[in-house]
Structures are given as structure tokens and as C-alpha cells.
Structure 1
Amino acid sequence: MNRVLGVSAVVCLLAAGCTSEHAALTVDQAVTLADQQVHLKVAGAPAGKPVDVAAEAVDRDGKKWHSQVTVTADDHGTVDLDTAKPASGSYHDVDGMGLFWSMNPPEGDPDEQSYVPPVENGRPVEHLEISVSRDGKQLASTTLTRQWMSSGVTVRPLTMAKDKLTGMYVAPKTDGAKHPAVLFFGGSEGGLPALSIPSLLASHGYPVLAVAYFHAEGVPTELRNVPIEYFATAARWLGQQPGVDPARVVVMSASFGTEAALLLADHFPALVHGAVLFAPGASATPSFPHPGASAWTYQGRPVGPGPIPVDGVDGPVLAVAGSADAAWDSQQAAELIMLELDDAHDKFPHEAVILPGAGHGVGGAPYLPRGTTINHPIVGPYKFGGTRPSNESAMRQGWAKTLALLASLQR
């Protein structure tokens, strides 16, 4: 259900100075959704000689990020980034999208910073300049545009006063059909989730309701005694929207929020048809950031501490975790959730995707530079663990599995 945007781009520039060296740089899609792979090729480079291929992009704060690899042209003067192994540079293995996620900031530790795209007309957009050079002389360049929101996607705010919810409804362009939909919320950072994931999912044709459940206007200031019924209200609202198949609403969350996602799927199977869980927990934990109470309540009573039951879940479940999660043992939790679903003789597909070397930040779309330490809005610098290459691999596999799960629900 991809909405492919853009046209092929070919740019060829003569290098400056007294040299006849030149090259052509081609890309199959000059404008794409941010989660779509592009294919970059260089032709006409010096045969058998090394060339440098680089990418630059400016982030939301005006900082210019940069990546670069040195690769060797074949006997025909061709470089295919999908198959070329870098001799050196910002990434080290064969990876056609390596230039995108391996960009580094102009200063500071890349592991402690994450690229945030600038916003144009209220929508996040990334412009990357790709260039080819040899011995410091540019041979060719082109600019790619990556979008998080395709044409026709709309965003509607929801308030407690009017809707009994704090959130944003991100809807694809209407086509007269009913589609699977996603109830999305974040983890211990609280607040409204970033709209990058909802925008991309809506661009693929899936309506998304992103909600805040604490640390935002109209909801508790802390993750303390949050009613699971609040999420049920959100799922019910989503199922009533035009273009939504109410029998195919999937809940999606990460980290602390996966506890609420599991509880919702277990207690309200008539409203929620399965779950996507990034870096999940399998047990109800205490309140955050100040322990001493339960994080969640159900029917007015505290939930936990203890394992979250899954025998009521009515739908597919995908859990994505990294073996090097520095926040909590999400690998063990993901595996435990699958074992409990097996024990409950769950009839729907359920899968744990465990990525060696990946950390806590495994949720979302790939191809974007992300640090392994984040600036948590409540507790400050917070180590997620893993490595940038391993976390990128987790993003790719988890996102592909997520889109496949949603596609399987389309009727």
C-alpha cells in the first residue's frame, strides 16, 4: 500500500579544474516517503579507482549532518551503493541506505544525538545532498527529498474537554474503503507522541490515533494510576471513524507503554485486534518517575505488580526487542509474552523479533541517524544501549514486520 512519490533524478557535473573526470549520479526516486529505500548508482567514474560518496542534511536546529564512504568503481567505472562495500567511512558493511542513517552531527558524540528533520509547511521533510568526489573534486551531485507525510494526510487534534482524549488523529486520504487502524502511544517520556510514526503509517493508508496518557494537558502529570479504560475510550473512538475497520484496530506502543497496550488487548479484545510492542515489558511495573503506587488501574483497582495476562488477546502480536537493551530486559519480556501466548493456545500469529546488539530504541521507521543515549524529557540523559548499526537493523526488521502485519489485516 506504499504511496510512491517522485521521479528519477540524474545529475552530472564536470569537476572543477583541468581534468576530464566526470561521473553521473542516479537515484531511482528523488522524492520518497522517509521509510522507503532508494537506490543510488554512480556511472562514469574512473575505472578501478576509489571515489568518495557523501550525504549532507540540515536538521531542525540548523545543524548540518554528514556521512561519507570511500568505495571503488568497477572495471566499467560503476558504483552501486546497494552492493558496494566501503573501504572506509561512516558505515562499514554493504548497505544501500548506509549514507542515510550513518550521518554524524557537526560536533559532539553521535551516540548522544539524534537527527530531527526540519519542518516545512507544518510537515517534517528532509533534504539530502548526495555527492560524488575524487581527490577533493566533486564529480556529481543530486538532492533527494524524504517526506514523513504524503499528500492528502490530515491531522486533527483531540482534547479532553471535547473528546475525552488528549491526542492527534492522523488520517490518510479517503478512498471510500475501510482499513485497519492503529492506536498509538509512547512510553515513559509521556506527552503526545512524535507524529513521525503516525504520519508514515497514515501515508501507507492506515488511520492512526496517537494519544497522550500522562505528562500532557488533560491527563495525569505522572505515570501513576492511569486507567486502562482511558485507552479503551481511545480505541472505541478510533473504531467509529470513517475509513476505519473497527474489527481491525491494532494497539502499538514502546517501552513502558507496552504494558498498557498488553493490558488493553487482554481486557478489551472486542475493541483491539492485537498489538505491536517495541522494547516491551511483560509485567506491570510501579509508577514513574516516583515509585510508590501502580502505573495502571483497571476498574478502579491497581494493576500489579506482576505478569500481565495475555489469554484474552484476540489478534496478532509482534514484539521487537534488542539483546543489548540498557533500559530493561525487553528480550526476556518479548520471549515471555510469546510463551504465554503459546500456553494460551493463541490462534493468531505471534512473533518475537530479537535483534542481537540492539538496544531499547528499536521502535519506528529506519534510515534516520539516532543516538544510543536520549535526552529523556523527564529524567534527562538516558542510555538506551546497543549500537547505531544494530539499532538500525532492528528498525528495518521491526518496521517491515509492522507493515506486513497491518497489510495482513486488510480485507
Structure 2
Amino acid sequence: MLQISRIHCRKLSSHVKLLVTPAKALVDDKVDITVERLAPRQPVTLHARLVEGTARFQSYAHYRADDAGRVIVAKQPSLRGLFTGVEQMGLFWSMQPSPGQKPGLRLRKKDVSTPFLVDVGVHDGHLDVMREENLPLLTTTTVERWFLADGVKRIPVREGRVRGTLFLPPGDGSFAGVIDMFGSTGGLAEYRAALLASRGFAVLALAFFAYDDLPEDMSDIDLDYFEEAADWLLSLPNVQNHGVGILATSKGGEIALSMAAHMDKVAAVVFINGYSAVTQAPLPYKGTVFPCAPWILEELVVTEEGYIDVRNVLDTTKEPGIKACVQVEKAQCPIMFVAGEDDLSIKSVFHANQAIDRMKAHGKTNYTLLQYPKTGHLIEPPYTPHCGVFYHSFINTCMTAGGEPKSHAAAQEDSWHKILDFFRTHADKNSPQSSL
């Protein structure tokens, strides 16, 4: 796994010591942050900064040293700042865009071959650092947060129609195969696939429109493309051939449900905040065309800030929306639904339960529901910042996503570990947890 580098701490004070361990780790690993050699009961501000391309993010929290002159973040509460209470990873998940950034900025790793570099510093006193530059520091250090573990191979994929990136763990396998998909923003996102591969899966980050020579929009998508991707992944000599797992968010979720309903090569599905019906365009498959739920444009809401709220633009409770619902009751594989109760992009809890109700009506029990309060649309890997409003590149505007940072962060941490366990149980025949 990832090799841990020693900590390089550049002292800006003659005595204060800042320790962040491990200084190099995967983004879903926790770190310990300790400040030593402070004065007893000294007030300090811990400050984290991250620059990714032109995007700048930061966070801060106020602490008071104990009687021995120490701050141990995993044991002592933040008194004020972007989070309060005992939060070991609070400086990471509470990060916000620095002032002056464009609205809807979302922190996503585009180049997984490099880490997020997070500068963690200590200021004397309790300061509001968000709008201040070049404040004096007692000490600082840099932490590396990786999506890609040492030894994981990254292989661009252009096979037949299939476009994406394959990530393979070190060794010869055989590895459980997983397809990773996102939603209606299109393009190719690799970071979650890289992290999954770093945890032992062979993962295909799959693009399906607005990338390379794929269709420019979702109107030309067909389900056969996704079957071709699954077949290709299962054909690899170091990938288990019994079936693929699928991890999918938003628009990708309805595709994952459709794959599970109509393909026996799907071993397990994790469906994050998606629709229970085909949306935006009909979905062809082997000569059949599955209809889509029509848009109800008059239900689109523009908030006072000018953001788009599309939660009510689809109605799958009456015709013709009912006909567009995925026949998920046909799925033979286990399905885990992950839903945020404060999703302001999709009525995720409703759609998860609508799919589950179809399964129940047909006597099916192959479902699990993870439902999280105060959690928004963009449920990402743990300790990555909550994003309540995001810029949607395909429609060229900002959309509401919802969620409250602390609760959303807790949901990301809880769901990620359950997702890993779910795939180990239902997709990996070599795992001690396997049900295969």
C-alpha cells in the first residue's frame, strides 16, 4: 500500500511543533494533528489551505492548548471556526472556497497522479483567517492527500466504443471488477475510481458522453454501450469474470439500475442519489427502447441567488412517468441505495424508496437503503469538502445540491466504508467477506 513519508515541518517559531501523521496518505485515511510546546491554555488557530489549479480552498478552527501546552485535534474540541466540537478530520471536510472564487466551485481531483497538497499552519490567538492573507504563523507543514496508492496502474481505455480509464491494483489479481460512473455533467472523472482501486478493486472509470469521440449529449446514449464496457472489463485476465460491481451517482445511477435489471453480468450496484426512472432521453437496448420521464419545465425553480433547483421537474408517480421507471424488480444482484435527505438536486429518498417498493411488490429482498439526514446530492469519498451549490458545466449554470457540512461529512465517511464492504461481500469472490 501507500508508503508513508516522514514529516517535513518548517518551523517559523523557535519552539512550537506541529505534527501531522501520516504526512502522506490516501484521502480516505484519517490523520492525527498535534501541536506541541505551546504555552499552557494558549489560544491558537489551526488553518488549512489547498490550491488545485486556479481553485483555492481553506478552513480554520479555534483551539485552546491544554495545561501541558498541547492541542490534540482528535481529542480536543474546536471552539469556533468552520466547525466546532471534536472532529479529527474537520480541517479537511470543512474546507470552503477562499473568498473571491466563482460561485459553485467544487473540489475535484483532475490529475490523480498528483496529490492534494494541504498546508496546515498554526496562528497565535483566535483569528478569522478566511479573508486575511499573510498572517504570521507559529509553524506550518504540508500534507499529501492521494487518490492513487503506490503501485496502482492507470491505463487509458479506447476499446471498441468504450472510453475511460482503467485502474489496477498492484499484483496479478484476480481482482473484483467495478465500473464507476457519475452523472449529467459528462466527461470523465477518475478520482473515485482511483481510490477504489487503491483499496483493491479493478476499476473502470467510465465516460458515456461529452468525452473524446462519445456523443456530445445524453440524447444518443444506449444501454448496449454499458454492456460493452462490462464485457470488456470482465474479459481482462486479471479481473474476476463472474460479474461487475457498479458504483454510480445521479444520472449514472439510473443507468446502473437499468444494467442490473437487464444484464446478468452485474454482481452488485451502489446507487447514489439518482432517479428510479430513465430520464432526459429514451434508452435503447438490443432493439428495445425504454421511454424516459418527461420534463415538467414549469416546476423548475430559480432561487434568489440565481441557482437552479430541479427537484420537481420529473413526476414518476403517474403516467407517462410510471412507464419510464426502471424495472428494477428484475435485478438478481444486490443493490445498495444511498440517499441524502437534503438532496436539493433530486428527490433521492423518494426515488430510492420508489425503486425499493417495486422490488418489495415482487417479493424481492436484494436491497439495502442508507438514508442520511442533512445530507446533500454530492456524496463523495470521506473527508473531501461538502459542496452545497455546484456549477453544472453542461447547462452552464449553478445548481443546488444541499446538505449541512458536518452531517454531510459524517454521511460521506459512513457510506464509503459501507460501500467498500458491500463490494467486498458481493463482487469479490476472493474476499473473506464474500457471499459468492
Instruction: Give the TM interval when normalised to the shorter protein.
Output: 0.7 to 0.9
Question: 2 CA distance for matches of 1:286 and 1:129?
Answer: 42
Q: Matched residue of 2:162: which SS?
A: coil
Q: Matched residue of 1:368: which SS?
A: coil
Structure 2 letter corresponding to 1:76: A
Question: 2 CA distance for matches of 1:110 and 1:35?
Answer: 27
Question: 2 CA distance for matches of 1:108 and 1:354?
Answer: 34
Q: Deviations over 1:82-118 (max 9, x none)?
A: 2322111122232111111222333237872223457
Q: How does 1:261-340 map to 2 (within 5 A)?
A: 261-269=256-264, 271-287=265-281, 294=282, 296-304=283-291, 305-340=323-358
- Does structure 1 retain, via aligned residues, the 8 Å contact 2:110–2:191? no
Structure 2 letter corresponding to 1:237: W
In the alignment of these two chains, the number of paired residues is 387
Q: Matched residue of 1:275: which SS?
A: strand
Q: Does 1:93 align with 2:85?
A: yes
Q: Deviations over 1:261-308 (max 9, x none)?
A: 101011112x11120111021122242xxxxxx2x1222232134321
Q: Matched residue of 1:57: which SS?
A: strand
- Does structure 1 retain, via aligned residues, the 8 Å contact 2:8–2:142? no
Gaps of 5+ in 1: 17-21, 288-293
Gaps of 5+ in 2: 126-134, 292-322, 431-436
Q: Deviations over 1:179-219 (max 9, x none)?
A: 21111222111222x11011111111211112222223333
**Residue number among 178, 181, 186 corresponding to 2:182 in the alignment:** 186
Q: Does 1:369 align with 2:385?
A: yes
Q: How does 1:340-355 map to 2 (within 5 A)?
A: 340-346=358-364, 348=366, 350-355=367-372
Q: Matched residue of 2:407: which SS?
A: helix
TM-score by length of structure 2 reads 0.82
- Does structure 2 retain, via aligned residues, the 8 Å contact 1:111–1:372? no
Structure 2 letter corresponding to 1:5: Q
Identity of aligned residues (%): 26
**Residue number among 212, 218, 228 corresponding to 2:223 in the alignment:** 228
Q: Does 1:201 align with 2:196?
A: yes
Tell me what 2:162 maps to.
Answer: 165
Please state how far the C-alpha of 1:66 moved relative to its aligned partner.
2.3
Q: Matched residue of 2:231: which SS?
A: helix
Q: How does 1:30-41 map to 2 (within 5 A)?
A: 30-41=23-34
Question: 1 CA distance for matches of 2:324 and 2:26?
Answer: 41
Tell me what 1:243 maps to.
Answer: 238
Question: 2 CA distance for matches of 1:88 and 1:374?
Answer: 26
Question: 1 CA distance for matches of 2:177 and 2:215?
Answer: 26
- Does structure 1 retain, via aligned residues, the 8 Å contact 2:5–2:23? yes
Question: 2 CA distance for matches of 1:110 and 1:324?
Answer: 23
- Does structure 2 retain, via aligned residues, the 8 Å contact 1:27–1:40? yes
Tell me what 1:291 maps to.
Answer: none
Please state how far the C-alpha of 1:225 moved relative to its aligned partner.
5.0
Q: Does 1:29 align with 2:27?
A: no
**Residue number among 105, 129, 152 corresponding to 1:113 in the alignment:** 105
- Does structure 2 retain, via aligned residues, the 8 Å contact 1:43–1:77? yes
Tell me what 2:433 maps to.
Answer: none
